[in-house]
Chains A and B, each alone.
Chain A
Amino acid sequence: MNALSALGEGIARVTRAPLILAGVWTLTFLVTLPLALGLRGMIADHLGSSLSADQAAAGVNLEWMQEFREQASGLGVTLRPTVVGAGAVLDNFSAFLDNTSRPVVIVGAAVAYMMFWLFLAGGIIDRYARDRATGAHGFFSACGVFFFRFLRLSALQWLVYMFLFRRLLEWLLDGLYPRMIHDVSVERTAFFARATMYLVFGVVFAACNLIFDYAKVRAVVEDRQSMLGAIAAAVGFIRRNYASAVGLFVVDSLAFAAVVAVYILAAPGVGGAGISMWMAFFAGQLYVAARLWVKLVFWASETALFQSRLAHAGYVARPLPAWPDSPTAEAIRTLG
C-alpha cells in the first residue's frame, strides 16, 4: 500500500464509521456550547435594550464591539471582528504559528478538549484498526484501556511540544528571525525569512506529530504497554517506510490545507440575525466537521498504512472485550 492508497483506505474507514465523526463533532460542539452561551449572556447584558443592538444584529457595529471589549473581561475580550468567517481561521492559525497567548479561559477549554481527545484516541484508532463495528462497549473499552497509556505518552509528547513552542519557536521567531532581518530594509525579504521560520518549525512539528501518531497506532494495533517502546517502534517504522509514511502525511496535510482553503474562500461574512445567521453557523459546523474528518483520516490512513506493512488489514492484537465482563455482572449471572 502506498501513500495514496493508504489515504483512500483511511477515507474509506472513516466513512464506514460515521458515528465517530458524529461523536467528535458532538464533543466539539458540547465543549464550546457552554462558553458560547456564557458569551451570549455577556453580550445580551451589555446590549440590554439599546438600539445599538439593531445594527449589531443587522450587520456589524464596530463601535459597540469596541465598547464591549473594553468593558469585558475573560471570554468577552476575545470577541473581535476577526471571529467572522475566514478571519476566524486565519486568526487561529496565525496565533498558533506566532505563538500568541490566549486568555486563561480559552486555554482551559483547550486543555479540557485535548483531554477528551486523549481519552477517545484509543477507541478511535482501535475502531479504525479493526475496521468493523465494535459497539459502544468495545469503543469505550478501548478508550479506557489506552487512556492511561496515552496519558503517559502525552506526558512525553507535550514535553516535546512544550519544547517546540517554548524554545524552538520562540528562538526562531524572537531570536533568529530578528537577527536575520536586523538590517533588512525590504519587506519581501523579511517575509520570506519569516516564512522560512514557519517552514522549519512546521517540518519539526510535523515530524514529531508523525512519530507520536504512529506511536499511538502501534500501541493500539500491537497492544503495547510501553509508550517509550511504542515511540521507538514508531521511529523504526517511519525509518523503514520513510517515503510512504512521509508521503501519506503530506497528502493528509494537503487535504487539511484544501479544507481550510475552501472555507477561507467560501466562509460567510457578517450577515444578519435571521436565517443567514443560522446558515452561517451551519457552514461553520460543516467546516468544523471537515476539519475533524481530516484529523480522523490522518489516524485512519496511518493505521491502514501500518497494518499493510507490518500486519494485515483489520489486525489488532488486543481481543475485543466481551460485555458485560465485570465481576458483578458475572456474579449476577451465577446467581441466575
Chain B
Amino acid sequence: MRWTLTLAAALVLACATRPAAQNAAGGTLDPPRSPRNASYTIAAKLDPSTHTIRGTETIAWRNVSTTTATELQFHLYWNAWKSDRSTFMRERALAGGGGAVLDADRSRIDVTAIRMGGAELTGSQRFVAPDDGNDADQTVMAVPLPRPIGPGGTAAIDITWTAHIPRTFARTGVIGSFYFIAQWFPKLGVLQDQGWNCHQFHASTEFFSDYGSYDVSLTVPRGWMVGATGVERDRRDAEDVTTHHYYQDDVHDFAWTTSPDLVERIAQFTHPSLPPVTMRLLLQPEHLAQADRHFDATRTTLKYYGEWYGPYPYGHITIVDPAFQSGAGGMEYPTLFTAGTRWLSPRLVSRPEGVTVHEAGHQFWYGIVGNNEFEDAWMDEGFNQFSTARALAASNTPDFYEQRFFGGFVPWTFGDMPLSRSVDENGLASYRSSAKRDAQSTPSFRYYPATAGGITYSKTALWLNTLERWLGWPALQRIMAAHFAKWQFAHPKPQDFFDIANANAARDLTPFFDQVYRSSNVFDYGVQDLRGAGGSVDAQQRTTVVVRRVGEAIFPVDVVTTFADGEQVVEHWDGADRWKAFVYDRPSRAVSAEVDPDRVLLLDVNRTNNSRTTRPQGPRAATKWSLKWMVWLQDCLLSWAALV
C-alpha cells in the first residue's frame, strides 16, 4: 500500500512538475508568455547565385509604452558593413580589429517598399543616428507615421526589401555554400516610455527587440538543409526550390541557416522535473565524431540552468555547427544557436563544450530574460559567463590548458595544467587587462571597443562568483532564480536586478554594486609586512602583520595568520582603511599571513601580493620555472642555428 501510494505520489508530482511541453509543438506557446507586441510574418527567398535575399514582411505591432509614437524606427543591421564610414566600422578600426573589406564581401539592406494600412510610406524613410550623429551610418531607419499611435494602439506595416548577404561578418553571412543569416530583415526597435530605443549597430554590442510571434517562410535551393528559430511546420517543393515554413511564439528574433552540406542529428533532453526538449544538431561533416559532445553540452545547459533558474519552455532547440571560416560560431538566437569547434578538438579541452553551454545558456539569459544588449550587455553575457563556468564545473567537463600551433590547426593539451572555474572560466586575465577602462554602468555600446570582453563578460562573472562565495550559492541562486522568474519575456534594467538581489540576500548589497557596477575601481588587497620581534617576553613571540588596501575598491576580507605550532588566527577586516596592523603575542612565531585566504574576492587583480610567509618557496619556484624556460630557449636558439 505504502509502495502504491509512493508511486502514485511520484506520478502526480511528475505530471505536476512537467510544464505542458506539448504546447511547444509547432512553435506555439499557450498561454502567451510575452506581450507579443512585435510579431512578424516573413516570406524570403535566397538566391545563392547573387547572394541576395528578397523578402516581404508584415509586422503586427502594438504600442505597449505610455508614449505616443509619431514615427517608427527600424534596425537595418546589415548596412553597418555597407561602407567603412559606418559607426560599426569606425569602432572596429578603433579596436584594431579586421582588415580591409572587399566590396564584394560587403552587405546592405535595400528597403524598396513600406506600406501601412492603405498608406504608401515608401520614400518617406530617412536614416538617423541616435547614438553618435554619424551621418554616414545607415543602420537605423525612421519612418514617419501617417497618424500617431497612442498607448495600446496597433499598426500593421508591410515592408519589401532586398538583403545583400555579406561574406560572414559579425557572425552572419555566407562562406562557400554555408549561409548563416541573422539580423537580416528590417526590424523594429523598442518603443519605451522615453521614446524609441533603437540604437545603431555597434562593433562590440548586440541587439534588443520586443517579443512576438514569428511566422517565416524561407525558400532555398531544393535539397539544402535548413535550420531556423522555431519549428518547421511544413515544407513545399517547387521545381528547384523548397519553401520551409517556420513558426515560433514568444521570441524576439529570428535567425536561420542553410547549406547543402549540413548533416542532421536529433537527440532528446529529458529530466524528472523539467520539460523535455528535442535537440536538433546541424553539423559539419568533418565534425560528425563530435555530435555527442554537442548534445551532452546542451543537455548540461538545459539541466543546470533549468534547475538553477527556471525551465526552458520552447520544447526544441537547434544547434548549428558553423562552417570553418564562417565566423558565425558562438552566437545566440531564440531557440537556435551556433556552437563552434575545430576539426581536431581534444577531449581534455572544453571545445565545443564551453561555447555550446554558453550559447545554449543564452536561451535563458538573452532569449527568455530579454535585457537590452546595447546598454546592459553584462546582464546576459556576464550572467551567462558565470553560469557557463558553473555548469561546466558541475558537469565535470574536463578543461585543460591548450595551445594551438601551426596556424592554429594543431592542438596540444597540457594535461597537467587544469583550468579553474573561478579564475580561468570566469576570465580573470581578461578582466585584469581592462579593469579600469570603463565602469560597468557605462552603456555597453559606449565602452571602449576593446574593453567589452573584460567588463561585460569577465567582470560580471567574477563579481557573481564573489557573491556566491560571500553569500553562499543558495542565496545567489535564490536571487538569480527570482530575477529570472520576474523578468522572463520582459526587459529588465540593472536596478531591477539589484532590487531583487537586495530583497533576497537579506542584506543591503548596494555598496557592493557601487563598487563593481558603478565604478571602475579595482580590488587589490595585500600583506605589506609580516614581522616577528627579536626578543620574547614570558616566552611570548610578538608578531606584527600589516595588511594594505592597494586598490581603490573596498570589500570585507578575512586575514589569517598561521603560527609555527599550527595555530591559526582569523581576523575579519572591513577593508575600508588603507591599512591595518594586527599584533599577536603567541608562544611561537608566525609563519604566514594571508588576506582573503578562502578566495572570496575573485576580483582581486593581484593575488600574488595577498600573502607572505617566513618560509618562502619563491626561490625554488623561480629555479624550477627558469630551468624549464632555459630548455625552451635552448630549443629556440637551436631553431635559429639552422640558419648557419
Chain A interface residues (CB < 8 Å from chain B): 28-29, 31-33, 35-37, 39-41, 43-44, 46-54, 56-57, 59-60, 62-64, 66-68, 70, 78-79, 81-98, 102, 106, 109-111, 113-114, 117-118, 121, 154, 157-158, 161, 173, 181, 183-191, 194, 198, 209, 269-273, 277-278, 280-281, 284-285, 287-288, 291-292, 295
Q: Do B641 and A295 touch (CB < 8 A)? A: yes
> 1/0 contact trace for B49-88 toward A, CB 8 Å?
0000000000000000000000000000000000000000
B581 nearest CB across to chain A (Å) = 18
Partner of B176, one of A32, A53, A184: A184
Distance in angstroms between the alpha carbons of A68 and B407 in the assembled complex: 26
Cβ–Cβ contact B623 & A277, under 8 A: yes
Minimum CB distance partner of B422 in chain A: A63
In the complex, the answer to whether A94 meets B406 with C-beta atoms within 8 Å is yes
Q: How many angstroms between the C-alpha atoms of A194 and B344 in the bound complex?
A: 15
Residues of B within 8 A of A117 (CB): 641, 644
Q: Report B12-51 CB contacts with A as 1/0, cut-off 8 Å.
A: 0000000000000000000000000000000000000000
Which residues of chain B are within 8 angstroms of A113 by Cβ–Cβ distance?
Answer: 637, 640-641
Contact with B416, one of A89, A91, A121, A269 (Cβ below 8 angstroms): A269
Given A48-B616, A102-B636, the answer on whether A185 and B631 have CB atoms closer than 8 Å is: no
Please tell me if the beta carbons of B611 and A89 are within 8 angstroms of each other in the complex.
no
Are A56 and B625 in contact, CB atoms less than 8 angstroms apart?
Answer: yes
Whether a CB of chain A sits under 8 angstroms from the CB of B608 is yes
- Interface pair A50/B610, CB less than 8 Å apart: yes
Partner of B644, one of A29, A62, A118, A284: A118
Contacts of A271 in B (CB 8 A): 624
Which of A54, A78, A82, A157: most chain B CB closer than 10 A? A54
Pair A53/B618 contact, Cβ less than 8 Å: yes
Stretch from B270-278, B323-331, B451-459 at the A interface: B323-331
Given contacts A81-B401, A81-B403, A81-B414, contact A43 B323 (CB under 8 A): no
- By the criterion CB–CB under 8 Å, are B616 and A98 in contact? no
Interface status of B613 (Cβ within 8 A of chain A)? yes
User: How far in angstroms is the closest Cβ of chain A from B263?
Assistant: 13
Contact B324 A190 (CB under 8 A): yes
Q: Identify which of A36, A114, A161, A270 contacts B630 (C-beta below 8 A).
A: A36
Residues of B within 8 A of A37 (CB): 626
Most buried by A among B611, B614, B643: B643
Chain A residues with Cβ below 8 Å from B175 are 183, 185
A contact residues around B178 at 8 Å (CB): 185
| B412 beta carbon closer than 8 Å to chain A | yes
In chain B, residues 589-644, which have Cβ atoms closer than 8 Å to a Cβ of chain A?
592, 594, 606-614, 616-644
Q: Tell whether A53 pairs with B621 under 8 Å between CB atoms, given A97-B406, A185-B177.
A: yes
User: In whole angstroms, how far apart are the Cα atoms of A185 and B176 in the complex?
Assistant: 6
Residue numbers in B under 8 Å from A173 (CB-CB): 407
Q: Looking across the interface, which residue of chain B has its beta carbon closest to that of A161?
A: B643
B424 within 8 A of A: yes
The CA of A86 and the CA of B413, in the complex, are separated in Å by 10
Answer yes or no: B586 CB below 8 A from chain A CBs: no
Is the pair A63, B324 in contact by a Cβ cutoff of 8 Å? no
| In the bound complex, CA of A87 to CA of B416 (Å) | 12
Between B176, B177, B401, B407, the greatest number of chain A beta carbons within 10 A of the residue's beta carbon is seen for B407
Tell me which of B326, B401, B618, B641 contacts A114 (CB under 8 A). Answer: B641
Smallest beta-carbon distance B476→chain A, Å: 23
In the assembled complex, the CB of B298 is this many whole angstroms from the nearest CB of chain A, namely: 22
Residues on A with C-beta less than 8 A from B634 are: 28-29, 32, 284, 288
Contact mask for chain B residues 565-598; partner A; CB cutoff 8 A; 1 contact, 0 none: 0000000000000000000000000001010000
Chain B contacts for A90, CB-based, 8 A: 403, 405, 410, 412
* B contacts, CB < 8 Å to A: 175-178, 261, 284-286, 323-326, 342-343, 401, 403, 405-407, 409-410, 412, 414-417, 419-420, 423-424, 428-429, 432-433, 530, 592, 594, 606-614, 616-644
CB of B635 within 8 A of CB of A291, answer: yes
Collect the chain A residues with CB atoms within 8 Å of residue B614's CB.
49
**CB distance A292 to B325 under 8 Å?**
no
- Contact between B407 and A54, CB atoms less than 8 A apart: no
Contacting pair B419 A44 (CB below 8 A):
no
Could you say which of A84, A118, A187, A194 has the most chain B C-beta atoms within 10 Å of its C-beta? Answer: A187
State which of A91, A106, A191 has its C-beta within 8 Å of the C-beta of B409: A191
Contact assessment for B414 and A87 in the assembled complex, using a CB-CB cutoff below 8 Å: yes
Contacts of B412 in A (CB 8 A): 86-87, 90
Alpha-carbon distance A287/B636, docked complex (angstroms): 13
By a CB distance below 8 angstroms, the chain A residues around B617 are 47, 53-54, 56-57, 273
A291 to B633 Cα, complex, angstroms: 13
Since A40-B626, A44-B619, A56-B625 are in contact, a sample of 13 more A-B pairs with Cβ atoms closer than 8 Å, ordered by chain A residue number, is A47-B621, A48-B618, A53-B618, A70-B432, A84-B414, A91-B403, A95-B636, A98-B407, A110-B636, A188-B343, A198-B406, A273-B624, A291-B638
A97 cross-chain contacts in B, Cβ below 8 A: 406
Selected contact of A295 from candidates B323, B417, B624, B638, CB within 8 Å: B638
A85–chain B nearest beta-carbon distance, Å = 8
- Considering the chains assembled together, what is the distance between the CA atoms of A14 and B406 in angstroms? 33
**A187 with B405: CB separation less than 8 A:** no
Beyond A36-B630, A56-B617, A94-B406, whether A51 also contacts B592 by CB under 8 A is: yes
Specify which of A98, A187, A278 is in contact with B406 (CB 8 Å cutoff). A98
Task: Give min CB distance, B417 to chain A, whole Å.
Answer: 5
- Distance between Cα atoms of A157 and B240 in the complex (Å): 61
Contacts of A48 in B (CB 8 A): 608, 612, 616, 618
Cβ of B618: which chain A residues have Cβ within 8 Å of it? 43-44, 47-50, 53
Contacts of B407 in A (CB 8 A): 98, 173, 194
* Least CB distance, B61 to chain A, in whole angstroms: 38
Which 10 A/B pairs are nearest by Cβ-Cβ distance? Answer: A284-B631, A185-B176, A47-B618, A94-B405, A40-B626, A185-B323, A36-B630, A51-B611, A88-B632, A43-B622
Task: Say which residue of B423, B637, B642 sits within 8 Å of A28 (CB atoms).
Answer: B637
Residue of B nearest to A54 (CB): B617
Residues of B within 8 A of A54 (CB): 613, 617, 621
- A49 & B613 in contact (Cβ 8 Å cutoff): yes
- Cβ contact within 8 Å between A67 and B606: yes
Minimum distance in angstroms from B404 CB to a CB of chain A: 9
Q: Which residues of B contact A60 (CB under 8 A)?
A: 416-417
Contact yes or no, B612 A50, CB < 8 A: yes
In the complex, the answer to whether B637 meets A83 with C-beta atoms within 8 Å is no
Report the minimum CB–CB distance from A110 to chain B (whole Å). 4
Closest A residue to B415 using CB positions = A269
28 CB-based A-B contacts, threshold 8 Å: A29-B634, A32-B630, A43-B625, A44-B619, A48-B608, A48-B616, A50-B609, A52-B607, A53-B617, A54-B617, A62-B420, A67-B432, A67-B606, A78-B633, A84-B414, A86-B412, A88-B628, A94-B406, A95-B636, A98-B407, A113-B640, A114-B640, A114-B644, A185-B261, A194-B406, A270-B414, A288-B635, A295-B641
